């Protein structure tokens, strides 16, 4: 049976209960400002199309895709830094209001950790300043001693210990990993329920990436945060995440438990991502490597947006958008190869079948 033909994938929480944050049918189109208007009038970038996902507490959900897949736009929609063209956000099952008060309350609950720890901290201020500021803005500051104790506790929570060593340091005196930890501590100051981490380790040395990923894992476990981990690196998503959501050209193409998605990817694009991921144990040549690049989001391909790059493309793929189809337990893929409806894939018999990794 087909799911909703246009919507992408909603995963229920791993535990019973309402997700901390939920997005329903989020869509974002950016207008293109052109010097010379073209035929057909105003154009738009289809950055995010009809994406639904749920972030349960104490879980990490990874959103994986290449540059231009829309994953960072999705993270910004979830922070309300940009407004959606359509769609809805729910915190603890309650639709998020648009008043200034509702937005302030939302900002306390949902915090964005940016990719670049070098630019996210003001270089003229010490670590103490960066952590005291949100404490003063969002909580009763208390006495000087109480404030000091809270700053020290924040540093300990991100494993910058002993806190005395870091509290009076300037950002340039810290390593990239330590700066990212301070940026995360600053987010924790307002006691958020949800952490949105947009490529939080991609600008760090390989040697210190694992430490920051382990910190996110600890925060998920210890503080029961709902974490969205945005990355181009599917191997790190497997390491950290409970659930993986794969995006291509503004749409979700596959989602499911992280181990299932990485061990048995059902969508050819997920297979491409995995084939491009470093794997010293692999000896065979990746099947899909080098097959073109992501399409323009101003004029995305018809039907399945991946069809110009897909070695399994059939006639139907160019004409009809594939629905989200169940593949295995909790795994769904938007790909016509997985339809059980022979009418829908009426011309599938001539197509080659994908190879699922064993
Ligand atoms: Fe898209 Fe068709 Fe390839 Fe599936 S087989 S990914 S629907 S082009």
Closest residue by Cα to atom 4, ligand 1, is: 335
Q: Where are the beta strands (DSSP E) in the chain?
A: 21-32, 43-55, 59-64, 86-91, 94-95, 110-113, 194-198, 226-231, 243-248, 251-257, 325-328, 331-333
Q: Calculate how far, in angstroms, residue 279's C-alpha sits from the geometric centre of ligand 1.
A: 25
- Give pLDDT, residue 332: 97
Taking a C-beta distance cutoff of 8 angstroms, is the pair 248, 228 a contact?
no
What is the model's pLDDT at position 114?
79
CA 79 – ligand 1 centroid, Å: 32
Helix (H) or strand (E) holding 262: helix 258-263
Candidate from 266, 292, 312 with most ligand 1 atoms within 8 A of CB, to mutate: 312
What's the pTM value of the predicted model, to 2 decimals? 0.85
* 37 domain residue, yes or no: no
Contacts of 332 (CB under 8 A, 6+ apart): 3, 9, 254, 255, 256, 324, 325, 326
Is 92 domain-assigned?
Answer: yes
- Tell me, in angstroms, the distance from the centre of ligand 1 to residue 300's CA: 15
User: What is the best residue among 337, 348, 354 to mutate for testing ligand 1's pocket, by most ligand atoms within 8 Å of CB?
Assistant: 337
Do 88 and 24 touch, CB atoms closer than 8 A? yes
Nearest to 139 by CA among 102, 80, 180, 188: 188
Domains identified in the chain, total number: 1
3-state SS, 143-192, equals CHHHHHHHHHHHHHHCCCCCCHHHHCCCHHHCCHHHHHHHHHHHHHCCCC
Measure the CA–CA gap between 255 and 271, rounded to whole angstroms. Answer: 13
State the residue range of the domain holding 124: 21-32+43-349
Q: Which atom of ligand 1 is nearest to the CA of 269?
A: 6
Distance from the alpha carbon of residue 288 to the mean position of ligand 1, in angstroms: 13
| Residue nearest to ligand 1 atom 7, measured at CA | 335
Measure 297 CA to ligand 1 centroid, in angstroms: 18
Please give the pLDDT value at position 95.
93
* Residues forming a β-bridge with 248: 251
What's the CA-to-centroid distance between 176 and ligand 1, angstroms?
40
Could you tell me if residue 102 is left (phi over 0), alpha (psi between -120 and 50 degrees) or otherwise beta? alpha
Q: How far is the CA of 198 from the centre of ligand 1 (A)?
A: 28
pLDDT at 345: 55
Per-residue buried b or exposed e for 181-190, using 16+ beta carbons within 10 Å of the residue's own CB: bbbbbbbbbb
Ligand 1 atom nearest to CA at 322: 7
Q: Which of 270, 302, 306 to mutate to test the pocket of ligand 1 (most atoms within 8 A of CB)?
A: 306
Separation CA 134–CA 100 (nearest Å): 18
Asked if 70 contacts 48 with a C-beta cutoff of 8 angstroms, the reply is: yes
Integer angstrom CA distances of residue 157 from 113, 162, 223: 16, 11, 10
Helix (H) or strand (E) segment spanning residue 258: helix 258-263
Q: For residue 32, what are the β-bridge partners? A: 43
Ligand 1 pocket residues where CB is under 6 Å = 267-268, 304, 306-307, 310, 312-314, 317, 322, 335-337
Q: Three-state SS for 276?
A: helix
Residue 5 in any domain: the answer is no
pLDDT at residue 143, as a whole number:
85
Does residue 10 lie in a domain region? Answer: no
What's the gap in Å between 84 CA and the centre of ligand 1? 28
> Is residue 304 a part of any domain in this protein?
yes
Q: How far is the CA of 309 from the centre of ligand 1 (A)?
A: 9
Q: What is the pLDDT along the chain (358 residues), one digit of tens a residue?
A: 333 333 334 444 434 578 999 999 999 999 887 545 555 567 899 999 999 999 999 999 999 998 889 999 999 999 998 999 999 999 999 999 888 888 888 988 999 887 776 777 888 999 999 999 989 887 666 788 899 999 999 999 999 999 999 999 999 999 989 999 999 999 999 899 999 999 888 888 888 889 999 999 999 999 999 999 999 999 999 999 999 999 999 999 999 999 999 999 999 999 989 987 766 555 554 444 556 788 888 989 999 999 999 999 999 999 999 999 999 999 999 999 999 865 555 544 444 444 444 3
How much is the pLDDT for 43? 86
Cis peptide bond prior to 162, omega within 30° of 0: yes
User: Is residue 229 situated within a structural domain?
Assistant: yes
Q: From CA 327, how far away is CA 337, in angstroms rounded?
A: 10
Task: Kindly state whether residue 160 falls inside one of the protein's structural domains.
Answer: yes
The CATH number for 162's domain is: 3.40.50.300
Residue 268 lies in a domain: yes
């Amino acid at each position: 049976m087909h799911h909703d033909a246009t919507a992408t994938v909603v995963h229920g929480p791993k535990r019973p209960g309402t997700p901390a944050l939920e997005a329903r049918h989020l869509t974002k189109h950016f207008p293109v400002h052109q010097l010379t208007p073209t035929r057909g009038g105003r154009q738009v970038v289809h950055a995010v199309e009809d994406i639904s996902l749920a972030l349960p507490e104490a879980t990490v959900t990874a959103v994986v895709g290449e540059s231009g897949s829309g994953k960072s736009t999705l993270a910004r929609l979830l922070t309300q830094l940009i407004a959606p063209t359509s769609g809805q956000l729910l915190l603890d099952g309650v639709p998020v209001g648009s008043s200034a008060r509702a937005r302030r309350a939302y900002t306390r609950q949902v915090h964005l950790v940016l990719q670049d720890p070098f630019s996210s901290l003001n270089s003229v201020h010490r670590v103490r300043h960066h952590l005291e500021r949100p404490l003063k803005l969002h909580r009763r500051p208390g006495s000087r001693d109480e404030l000091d104790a809270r700053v020290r506790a924040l540093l300990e929570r991100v494993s910058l210990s002993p806190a005395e060593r870091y509290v009076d340091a300037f950002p340039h005196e810290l390593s990239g990993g330590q700066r990212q930890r301070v940026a995360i501590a600053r987010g924790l100051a307002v006691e958020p329920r949800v952490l949105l981490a947009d490529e939080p380790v991609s600008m760090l040395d390989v040697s210190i990436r694992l430490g920051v990923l382990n910190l996110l894992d600890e925060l998920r476990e210890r503080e029961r945060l709902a974490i969205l981990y945005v990355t181009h690196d599917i191997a790190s998503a497997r390491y950290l995440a409970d659930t993986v959501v794969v995006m291509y050209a503004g749409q979700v193409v596959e989602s499911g438990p992280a181990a299932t998605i990485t061990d048995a990817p059902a969508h050819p694009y997920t297979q491409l991502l995995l084939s491009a991921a470093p794997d010293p144990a692999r000896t065979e040549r990746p099947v899909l490597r080098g097959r073109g690049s992501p399409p323009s989001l101003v004029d995305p391909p018809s039907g399945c947006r991946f069809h110009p790059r897909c070695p399994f493309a059939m006639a139907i793929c160019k004409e009809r958008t594939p629905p989200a189809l169940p593949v295995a337990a909790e795994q769904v893929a938007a790909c016509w190869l997985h339809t059980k409806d022979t009418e829908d894939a009426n011309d599938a018999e001539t197509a080659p079948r994908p190879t699922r990794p064993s």
